């Protein structure tokens, strides 16, 4: 029987984008269902499939939900294991990859969001964001990808922020190209991959979304 795969998502979500890239890497066909998070109209399916957090992304595989983007990416890697491994098989390397994804999960989103979603804190948040990117750039070192020669779990977890960099830079008033040139080279390398290229939305579209949201929140 064919697998039934449904993804509950929201187009600019860096978390949902991780799942879309992982599914593209594995060549998995799925049905995409957009949630109307802007108007806070969550579908009954979302509330039923993720009653704990009520957040996207949710992957519904043969009727069963999997929640939390980094857990979903690991699940995808385990279920569709024959194609394009995303996590290393070596236990130590695997633990390292999970450590860095955990770091990204704990550190990146909050200062990133503060650059465009606050009034008066934008520049401070920008500085904090740059420091975190510098730590990640140091971890990347001279390698083409975080795990070495191939695109994997850590790359997927961070590259989905790439389409947000433009907005963070504009509102936070900084330049990542100037501050972290190696990291930007890495991002451009990742963006050449079909799974990433075809998945990430245009940075200007994301910027337009930020402008709309700022208006909606009464910030501008
Ligand atoms: C975060 C998901 C999330 O914040 C993950 O999947 O990695 N740790 C989770 N989803 C947001 C949209 S993206 O900003 C969401 O669903 N928000 C709706 C809400 O909070 O009500």
In the chain, domain spans: 5-79, 91-216
d(CA 32, CA 41): 17
Is the model's pLDDT at 2 over the cut of 90?
no
Contact 55 CB / ligand 1 (< 6 Å) = yes
Quick one: which atom of ligand 1 is closest to the CA of 37? 18
Counting ligand 1 atoms within 8 A of each CB, the residue from 14, 18, 39, 55 with the most, and so the one to mutate, is 55
Is the model's pLDDT at 198 over the cut of 90?
yes
Q: How many angstroms separate the alpha carbon of residue 161 from the centre of ligand 1?
A: 14
d(CA 161, CA 210): 14
Query: Which pLDDT score, from 0 to 100, does residue 91 have?
Result: 98
**DSSP alpha helix (H) spans, 27-90:** 44-49, 69-79
Is the model's pLDDT at 163 over the cut of 80?
yes
Query: Which pLDDT score, from 0 to 100, does residue 111 have?
Result: 98
> Spelled out in words, what is the top-level CATH class assigned to the domain 91-216?
mainly alpha
The greatest distance separating any two alpha carbons of the chain, rounded to the nearest whole angstrom, comes to 55
* β partners of residue 25: none
Residue range 59-67: mean pLDDT, rounded? 98
Which residue reads 């499939």 in tokens? 49
Q: What is 5-79's CATH number?
A: 3.40.30.10
CA angle at residue 218 from 107 to 168, to 5 degrees?
Answer: 35
Using CB atoms within 10 A of its CB, is residue 145 exposed (0-12), middle (13-18) or buried (19+)? Answer: middle
Q: Omega before 20 cis (within 30°)?
A: no
pLDDT, averaged across the chain: 97
Contact 116 CB / ligand 1 (< 6 Å) = no
Query: Which pLDDT score, from 0 to 100, does residue 220 have?
Result: 86
Residue range 36-56: mean pLDDT, rounded? 97
């Amino acid at each position: 029987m064919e697998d039934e795969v449904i993804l509950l998502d929201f187009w600019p979500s860096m978390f949902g984008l991780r799942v879309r890239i992982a599914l593209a890497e594995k060549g998995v066909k799925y049905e995409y269902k957009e949630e109307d998070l802007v108007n806070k109209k969550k579908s009954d399916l979302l509330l039923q499939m993720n009653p704990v957090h009520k957040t996207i992304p949710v992957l519904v595989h043969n009727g069963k939900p999997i929640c939390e983007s980094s857990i979903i990416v690991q699940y995808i890697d385990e279920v569709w294991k024959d194609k394009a491994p995303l996590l290393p098989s070596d236990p130590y390397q695997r633990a390292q990859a999970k450590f860095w994804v955990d770091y990204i999960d704990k550190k990146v989103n909050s200062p990133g969001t503060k650059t465009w979603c606050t009034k008066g804190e934008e520049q401070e948040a920008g500085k904090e964001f740059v420091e975190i990117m510098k730590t990640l750039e140091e971890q990347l070192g001279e390698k083409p990808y975080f795990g070495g020669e191939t695109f994997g779990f850590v790359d997927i977890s961070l590259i989905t922020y790439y389409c947000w960099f433009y907005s963070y830079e504009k509102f936070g008033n900084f330049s990542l190209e100037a501050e972290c040139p190696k990291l930007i080279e890495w991002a451009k390398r990742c963006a050449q991959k079909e799974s990433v290229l075809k998945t990430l939305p245009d940075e200007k579209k994301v910027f337009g979304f930020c402008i709309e949201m700022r208006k909606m929140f009464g910030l501008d």
